[in-house]
Amino acid sequence: MTGTLVVFAKWPAAGAVKTRLCPPLAPDQAAAFYDAMLGDVLEAMARLAPPLGLELVLAAHPREALGSFAARAPGWRVVAQQGADLSARMEHAAASELARGAARVLLRGSDNPTLGADVLAAALAALERCDVALSPDRDGGYGLVALRRFAPGLFAHPMSTRTVLEDTRVAAHALGLSSELIAPGFDVDTAADLDLLRAARSRAAALCPRSYAWLDANAL
């Protein structure tokens, strides 16, 4: 393996995940839907990332659920997320994996189940030309960030804003890191994102069958 794919995940507990989907979903429904997305992401990445030379790492929260995550994700190296907020946790994951000797580190969430091998490959290709590659999200953030070099402070800004993509690129430039945008995607955070997920079915059905099955079963 020449690189590492780190998937950030939370244990799917009601009231702890996908709260922006409530309403239209109830908290237990939101947790069940996130559970379906997480299952899709773990299965798809286990199939698609290793052929690209990427080791599988699951950055899990909370720490008390590590054993449950490990049972759910055989073949993954399961680690605890470390840091007071997402910014710090991303910095820790990137720095730790590069320090372990990974030539490339890709960080992604577990709520963008349509992200497939084409985006992973595009990120790796971009890293032949730049230090940081990002897949933009429709809300001003990004669903994947890939690095071949890292500097402390790259993610030292609020992460849940409409300017986080631009803030990260500005930080990269200030730290002497070149950056490039690759194909966009979307996280499923709101009711409008559920519409995007439905619209992507023709191309993404094989990537996220659990997510679509849950939507079908719940008439959403």
Separation in Å, CA 47 to CA 67, 73, 116, 208, 213: 22, 12, 10, 13, 20
**What would the mean pLDDT of 62-84 be, rounded to a whole number?**
97
CB 168 within 8 A of CB 134: yes
pLDDT digits (tens, 9 = 90+) for 2-53: 899 999 999 999 999 999 999 999 999 999 999 999 999 999 999 999 999 9
Number of domains in the chain: 1
Residue 84 pLDDT > 80: yes
Position 158 scores a pLDDT of 82
Domain harbouring 64, CATH code: 3.90.550.10
Position 35 scores a pLDDT of 98
CA distance 131 to 174: 13
Question: In this structure, how many other beta carbons lie within 10 angstroms of the beta carbon of residue 54?
Answer: 23
**Residue 184 burial class via C-beta count within 10 angstroms: exposed 0-12, middle 13-18, buried 19 and up:** middle
Q: Which domain holds residue 183?
A: 3-217
Position 160 scores a pLDDT of 77
Question: For residue 72, what are its two tokens?
Answer: 């759910």
